[in-house]
Amino acid sequence: MSRSGSSVPLELRGFTAGYAASDPKVVDISLVLRPGTTTALVGPNGAGKSTLLKGILGLTPVHAADRVRFFGGPLERARDRVAYLPQRSELDWDFPASALDIAAMGLYRRLGLFRRVGRAARIEARDALVQVGLGDLAARPVAELSGGQRQRVLVARALAQRADLLLLDEPFANVDEATERAIAGVLRDIAARGGTVLAVHHDLSTVREEFDDAILLDRTIRAHGPAGATLAETGR
């Protein structure tokens, strides 16, 4: 698999998106993510954090965009390197799949249409689960997992995909502190290996210890920089 193209995982310029064209949720967003970092996307309720993620991934209408670059090119050419983890509440956790089944979904594109999930793929998926600390629960139906465990499964899915850029929407909502710190640790490991993480995060108190950088969004970007400095600057 070629990893050509620029090393900038995400570049946006003049990005405006949202359901209503007359009153878009996010306006004129410009940002560049540094590779090998974890970034928290914070802001008040309704600030457009989810909309920004969905917009750049083509899941919500976009009204203006001078530039949307994933690793130097359009999303189409970088799909195998980009992983999206939607809000947990949007997924059908009653679907009769095991943790292993979900983790393996990261491999589906690589496997290609009409190919089964074979032994090799299942081993890869299992490794991903081990990395997030769920090795023992591989066969467990996801309906029986806790919120934190489910979040880890989604991260494992991205790991199995070997994604270089992970976009997470509210990964720590309804997750206990200990699990939150553990998952943040996994995300930092991903960054340490060269991956990039952008996560919508709601709890300002934990941003500094869990993330490298922070973006303060309230319809437009109010601040973007190293976590500690950015939050201090805006008086938080």
Partner 1 sequence: MSAPAFGANTQLALAGCTVFGAVAGAVGTFILGRRRALLADVAGHASLPGVCLAFLAGEALGLGGRNPWLLLAGGAATALLAAWSVPALSRLRGVGSDGAVATALAFFFGVGAVLLSSIQSHESGAQGGLRTIIFGSAAATSRADLVALTALAAVAAATLALFFKELAAISFDEPHARVLGLPVRAIDLVLLALLIATVVAGMQVAGVVLVVAMMITPAAAARGFRGSIGRIAAIAAAIGAGSAAAGVLLSLRFESFPTGSAMTLSATACFLGSLLLPQRRRRGVPS
Q: Which is nearer to partner 1, 169 or 210 (CB)?
A: 169
Angle at 84 between CA 60 and CA 192, to 5 degrees: 140
Give the residue, chosen from 13, 34, 140, 188, that forms a contact with partner 1 under the rule CB under 8 A: 140
Nearest of 63, 61, 58 to residue 84 by alpha carbon:
58
Q: Which is nearer to partner 1, 116 or 193 (CB)?
A: 116
Check binding of 208 to partner 1 (CB under 8 A).
Answer: no
Residues 48-87 that bind partner 1 (CB under 8 A): 54, 57-59, 75-76, 79-80, 82-86
Burial of residue 104, with CB atoms counted within 10 A of its CB: 0-12 exposed, 13-18 middle, 19 or more buried: buried
Q: What phi-psi label fits residue 144: left (phi over 0), alpha (psi between -120 and 50 degrees) or beta?
A: alpha
Q: Is 79 helix (H, G, I), strand (E, B) or coil?
A: helix
Check binding of 233 to partner 1 (CB under 8 A).
Answer: no
- Least distance from partner 1 to the Cβ atom of residue 216, Å: 25
Q: What phi-psi label fits residue 190: left (phi over 0), alpha (psi between -120 and 50 degrees) or beta?
A: alpha
Check binding of 116 to partner 1 (CB under 8 A).
Answer: yes
With contacts defined by CB under 8 A, how many residues of the chain interact with partner 1?
A: 51
- Least distance from partner 1 to the Cβ atom of residue 46, Å: 20
**Measured distance CA(48)–CA(60) in Å, rounded:** 12
Residues contributing to the site for partner 1 (CB under 8 A): 54, 57-59, 75-76, 79-80, 82-86, 88-98, 100-102, 105-106, 108-109, 111, 113-114, 116-117, 139-147, 149-150, 157, 161, 173-174
